[in-house]
Amino acid sequence: MKKWLYCLVSVCMLALPGWAAPLTRLDSLRQLGRWPLTVQLAVATRRVTPATAPLVGELVRRPGVPRAVRAELLANLAGHYLHENQPSLAIIQMLQTRRMALADHDSSRLSTACEWLCYAYSLLKDPRPGLRYGQEALRTVPAHDPDQARRLTGIYFNLADCAALIPDYPLAARYYRQALSLTRQTQDSANTAVALASLATYALRQQLLPQAAQLLDSAYASYPPPRYLGVQLVLDLLRGTLARQQGQYTAAVQWLEPTRARARQARQLNDELQALKELVPALSQLGRYREALLHQQRLTVLRDSMFEESSARHAREMHTLYQTQEKEQQLARLRLRTQARETLLRQRTLLFVGVLVGVGLLVTLVIVRQRARHILATTAEALRMRNRIAADLHDEVGTLLTRVSLQAELLRQTQPAPQPALDRLLTNSRAAAGTMRDIVWSIDAEADTVGALLDRMRDHLDQTAVPAGLETHLEASGLHDHDPIAPVMRQHLYLVFKEAVTNAARHARGATQVQVKLEKTPGTLQLTVLDDAPAAPAPATRSGMGLRNMRQRAEALCGQLQAGPVPGGGFRVQLRVPA
């Protein structure tokens, strides 16, 4: 009776105005474990704020939190990071949500996680993983979902954005047409106008001006006033752009000037920037050079400010990632100290009991001491593993982040074209994020299977060999996806494979394909990476730091590494280790 009364009081407190937003009160989250499950779920669904984000991040890593509550906290934390324009952190939370949904066979949560992953990767300008997760979201949307059409519309919009980044405009147009069909079914006039405007944009890029004008007229007709400001800005901006490309410069200025003013008043900087890009050449064609010069100055200021804001945002995101890793290391050290104290206390207790009982318990004391040695050895091995992880994080990610900082500083000092430096900054940021993902994957206990290793290999082939123009083929022989594999074996095998594939993509001139084979024979596990590069005039060894690292990893596994050219053309890296 008391338990039900406590639940009723807790729910009533949540409904009161003073308790309307428990996530804004840190005490409500700190005492989350004392609440009934229904109240915990109510708290977990509340919006995450910058003040509560660190505590929510600790809760999702805390053992003992109910699985359903952890899933809600992860989703809301990912939504907070997306709202704060930190897509890398949102991806980390959504990947955990996706793993939990796969384990629970929860298709609705799985579809939502994949949809957000698609959107986050589009923000990072990394479209290929976004396309893969967007297509998975399409496959997993529940057929009985009453909101199925709206969810499918959002997924198609995200897929179209990723396709446009590749760029694959026909694919993007196909996704937008599918979204357009759904918005018309649900009578969603705003999104119908957005889809038609996006199709008009692709028609403009292909110089299909009559088709673009027809699509734009349909967009205006499908969404009569009053319109949302964002949609109105998009439509008017497209109208002005179309008029400029048709040579109607006076009409273009008449559309673009009010659009620029509204965008500036509403602080829609991206829309103002696009309007200025079209307005400056239109004014120049009309001979209104003074106005064109003023708008060009504003355009330069906008570009510089947006670049500085983007750099600061990336710096904050990297700082948050560093703080998260630092807190995890502190928790690990605290657990180690607690285990050491417990072990010491247990030893003293057993020794005291042994002295009191006498000689008859000496055998028991020896057994306990052996067990204590085993615990200490296991703890020492765990400490060495964490030290190695910390070294990898420092050597890999630390160097890349230093390069990002140096290049950002260089861009601030140069005049005035920042585009090449921005490309380098984005490249280094992606490399840092990729390295972080590799290290986190290497310590993930849920990935200790052959299937997880093969999936990771396929992802790296798609990201490295395919962009280099190489056809890929991955074959596994004598292995099954559910077969377990030791963490050390999995990490070294993947890093040797990654180094060999990267060398093939960078140095195998004239190669058209790369073949990877992982096979298990009695007592032996063998990894082979072979490309078909033409034979070089002189013997090619591709020796260097990468080959030396691969040999060291082979020695760590008590195995053998053979690397060298193949008669008739090609280069082969073969690792053979005891199974």
Report yes or no on 95 lying in a domain: no
Report yes or no on 549 lying in a domain: yes
Domain count within the chain: 2
Give yes or no: residues 457 and 427 share one domain: no
- Mapped onto helix, strand or coil, the DSSP state of residue 161 is helix
Residue 421, classified by CB atoms within 10 Å of its CB into exposed (0-12), middle (13-18) or buried (19+), is middle
Report yes or no on 529 lying in a domain: yes
Q: pLDDT tens digits for 413-442?
A: 664 655 566 666 656 666 666 676 677 666
Where does residue 483 fall: left (phi above 0), alpha (psi -120 to 50 degrees), or beta otherwise?
beta
Q: pLDDT tens digits for 91-148?
A: 888 888 888 888 888 888 899 889 999 998 888 888 898 999 999 998 998 888 788 8
The CA angle 421-423-427, to the nearest 5 degrees, is: 115
Q: pLDDT tens digits for 260-296?
A: 888 888 888 888 888 888 888 988 888 888 888 988 8
Give yes or no: residues 504 and 551 share one domain: yes
Among residues 443, 460, 477, the one where a domain terminates is 443
Report yes or no on 333 lying in a domain: yes
Among residues 423, 443, 463, the one where a domain terminates is 443
Give yes or no: residues 403 and 530 share one domain: no
- Count of C-beta atoms within a 10 Å radius of residue 390: 14
Give yes or no: residues 457 and 513 share one domain: yes
Give yes or no: residues 439 and 469 share one domain: no
pTM of the model: 0.50
Give yes or no: residues 411 and 522 share one domain: no
The encoded tokens of residue 517 equal 């084979």
Query: Among all chains, which residue has been given the structure tokens 């080959």?
Result: 547
Q: pLDDT tens digits for 316-368?
A: 666 665 666 666 677 678 878 888 888 888 888 888 887 888 877 777 777 88
Give yes or no: residues 437 and 451 share one domain: no
Domain extent, residue 363, equals 329-443
Give yes or no: residues 478 and 436 share one domain: no
Sign of the C-alpha dihedral computed for residues 352, 353, 354 and 355 taken in this order: positive
The encoded tokens of residue 433 equal 């994020």
Report yes or no on 356 lying in a domain: yes
Q: Which helix (H) or strand (E) holds 473?
A: strand 471-477
CATH number at residue 554: 3.30.565.10
Give yes or no: residues 533 and 457 share one domain: yes
Among residues 381, 416, 443, the one where a domain terminates is 443
Give yes or no: residues 435 and 481 share one domain: no
Taking 60 as the threshold, does the pLDDT of residue 525 lie above it? yes
pLDDT at residue 396, rounded to an integer: 66
To 10 degrees, the CA torsion angle through 16, 17, 21, 24? Answer: -120
Report yes or no on 499 lying in a domain: yes
Report yes or no on 361 lying in a domain: yes
Give yes or no: residues 489 and 470 share one domain: yes
How confident is residue 80, by pLDDT bands cut at 50, 70 and 90? confident
Give yes or no: residues 466 and 551 share one domain: yes
Helices assigned H by DSSP within 45-86? 53-61, 67-83
Report yes or no on 412 lying in a domain: yes
